[in-house]
Structure 1
């Protein structure tokens, strides 16, 4: 690679770094409140992913007043209040929080995000869980997908669309 190409590559890297720093500052600054910091998997979650078991989602962060905080992972995704989900989805979320037992053998498997409708993460970051569909003879189309950083997503149409679950409401 010529020195000119190296210089151009270095300039591009510096520019990307500056843009990322300015974006972080404009989005509230500091690492503790940024969505990226909230999404980085903890060591236990990463170890659980490697061992083939579904990680237990982390509890939402607390504000100084004791109430949960919530930062959406993507402004491109609509969000839905937990209380607005069907009762079967609440049942699934409660099972996830307890670590099971799950009604279907495939619950907790890695969700590969092949449709790229969730934020891009490394393979093994997301896990899917069935939401029972009354009247269906199979798993149906409803799922909860969790991320290793504690985020939770709802789909009623078998991954055609997702909403991020807001646990505050």
Structure 2
């Protein structure tokens, strides 16, 4: 049998190394997310254990103990939504999709379908000049007209969407926004 030298990452094609790096990053992010939301199976905080281990202490020696040595009570569990909806900015009020005007729900349906839209300017980049939405790079937000019955023009109502899937409602032409909660 011949002994072949073992291949290292340096010998592999760059795309394979990149894929491994992306996969490792995703696994680490999901693990950290599960630890932060309490989704881990052990009931403890994996992030706290990892941080304590990195400092050279054992997780049980410091984590979950008060100064008197008694265990600290666990924080209340956060309710998990079946749809996975989480507000992107807790400083913004949210509004249930079912509480929006019928025309706004129609616009949301058109957005989900990809159009056709009633106005030529629907889908254009929303620049967030008023800075009322979370700050993002140019091109992240797009705006869509919500038809206003009786109005001769586009009116003041809009739905603004973000590239990550978030949706915002404004009935006063960008003076205020509410994040749309699709769970209700």
- 2:129 maps to 1:120: no
TM-score, length-scaled by structure 2: 0.57
- Within 5 Å, give how 1:37-76 maps onto structure 2: 67-76=82-91
CA-based RMSD = 2.4
Q: How many residues align?
A: 112
Larger RCO (CA within 8 A; separation ≥ 6): 1
Following TM superposition, where does structure 1 have runs of at least 4 consecutive aligned residues deviating by more than 2 angstroms?
Answer: 24-30
For each residue in 1:36-65, what CA deviation from the matched residue of structure 2 results, as whole angstroms up to 9, or x when unmatched? xxxxxxxxxxxxxxxxxxxxxxxxxxxxx9
- 2:172 maps to 1:157: yes
| 2: CA distance, partners of 1:137 / 1:91 | 19
Query: Which residue of the partner structure matches residue 37 of structure 2?
Result: 28
Offset at residue 127 of structure 1 (A):
0.1
TM-score, length-scaled by structure 1: 0.62
- 2:107 maps to 1:103: no
Offset at residue 66 of structure 1 (A):
9.8
Offset at residue 29 of structure 1 (A):
7.7
